[in-house]
Amino acid sequence: MKESDLARIRELGLFSGMDANRFSDLTSGAFMQKFPANTTLLYEGDTVDFLYILLEGAVEIQGAWHDKETTLAVVRPLSVFILSSVVLDAPALMSARTIDRSEILMLSAEGFRRAMRDDSRLALSIAEEMAGWNRALVRQLKNMKLRSAAERLANYLLTLQVQQGGGTTLHLPHEKRILASLLGMTPENLSRSFAGLADYGVEIHGNEIRLTMMTALKRMAKPSPLIDNHMPPLDHLSGKAERELWPPNSRAGKIIHD
């Protein structure tokens, strides 16, 4: 494995505090693999033998029930996914499929659990990641249960605007099928929601979005720092990073649990 790849993995909060020797031991048996687009990496219910670290490409995390299927997250570099199943040595609750040609580092699940038991700093990092994910899940549940479809879409666009530099012209990072699923909608509901937001200055042209009435859009969306990560944190809240499931990923490292 390239030293440059190891250096990138070290950037993830999960590994940044690890003892150097234990990190070397953990990654010594790892292997890199390149997958074409539309490759299923694992199915929900599978035994999880590896912790996956996405270095290049994109991976869709999915769930299914009978003939229904939904997108739970889209993972982009640099990201770890299927962490909870690895920690608990439990079957996967989610499936994972590549969207683009992807380069993934695979760490032994058993080796990771052994390192977790031996390295207190890694164990602490895992606890912090799990806590951040739990808070993100609460945000997601509040967003889904307390807001209309149009309000969810409006706040998604405000999140996207922040993550893409604060401009008024945005590029949707997902195809609309995936976006609808991430926001808990059907594609038809997503189209209706976009149409409804036209009164608030949202113009859509393919995958390009223009926001022409930011004040009106924010007034309609009513963003809250207790739901939305695009809002400045309240003074009394922790500044620790939280992991989100449904908003678009930034370039920072992400941890996707199941």
Instruction: Verify that 47 and 124 share a domain, yes or no.
Output: yes
Each residue's pLDDT expressed in tens, for the chain with a length of 258 residues: 788 888 899 989 899 889 889 999 999 989 999 999 999 999 999 999 999 999 999 999 999 999 899 999 999 999 999 999 999 999 999 999 999 999 999 999 999 999 999 999 999 999 998 898 889 889 999 999 999 999 999 999 999 999 899 999 999 998 999 999 999 999 999 999 999 999 999 999 999 999 999 999 999 999 999 999 776 655 444 444 444 433 334 333 455 656
**pLDDT reported for residue 250:** 37
Of 143, 175, 194, which one is at a domain's C-terminal end? 143
The verdict on residue 157 lying in a domain is yes
The verdict on residue 177 lying in a domain is yes
pTM: 0.83
Domain count across the chain: 2
The verdict on residue 247 lying in a domain is no
The verdict on residue 241 lying in a domain is no
Instruction: Verify that 99 and 203 share a domain, yes or no.
Output: no
Q: Which domain holds residue 222?
A: 148-234
Task: Give the CATH number for residue 15.
Answer: 2.60.120.10
Q: What backbone phi and psi angles, to 5 degrees, belong to 86? A: -65, -45
Tokens of 208: 């390009």
Gap between the Cα atoms of 210 and 208, Å rounded: 7
Residue 112 near residue 16, CB atoms below 8 Å: no
Residue 120 near residue 83, CB atoms below 8 Å: no
Of 143, 174, 204, which one is at a domain's C-terminal end? 143
**pLDDT reported for residue 233:** 52
Of 102, 117, 143, which one is at a domain's C-terminal end? 143
The verdict on residue 137 lying in a domain is yes
Element of type H or E holding 69: strand 68-75
Instruction: Verify that 84 and 12 share a domain, yes or no.
Output: yes
Instruction: Verify that 77 and 205 share a domain, yes or no.
Output: no
Instruction: Verify that 76 and 157 share a domain, yes or no.
Output: no
**pLDDT reported for residue 235:** 45
DSSP classification of residue 27: H
Tokens of 34: 């390149």
The verdict on residue 245 lying in a domain is no
* Half-sphere exposure in the Cβ direction for 91 (13 Å, CA): 5
Instruction: Verify that 229 and 189 share a domain, yes or no.
Output: yes
The verdict on residue 253 lying in a domain is no
Instruction: Verify that 228 and 115 share a domain, yes or no.
Output: no
Instruction: Verify that 158 and 124 share a domain, yes or no.
Output: no
**pLDDT reported for residue 114:** 95
Tokens of 254: 């992400």
Across the strands, what pairs with 33? 104
Task: Give the CATH number for residue 153.
Answer: 1.10.10.10
